[in-house]
Amino acid sequence: MGMSITEIKAMSRPELLLAMEMLWDELCHQGQEPESPAWHKDVLEARQAKIAEGHTEYLTIDEVKKRLRP
């Protein structure tokens, strides 16, 4: 590994954002999708079951914002 945590903590916010952007760009261009954790499948199956049973509520973005910001 090239950088220590001390060096990373010493970086300015713009430097950190640039480093994060460069890392993200590299990850996106490697041609490999990361494997989802096993619990993702469980969550998706539970959500699909709620939809199939009719126990799902759909909200618009404005409705979500109102619930989050009273």
- Count of H-run helices and E-run strands, the chain: 4, 0
* The one-letter amino acid at 7: E
* Displacement of CA 43 from its chain's centroid (Å): 15
Closest CA to 29 of 21, 37, 40, 18: 21
- At residue 63's C-alpha, the angle toward residues 59 and 69, to 5°, is 135
Return the SS3 of 63. Answer: helix
Residues 10-60: pLDDT tens digits?
999 999 999 999 999 988 888 777 788 999 999 999 999 999 999 998 999
The whole-number pLDDT of residue 69 equals 86
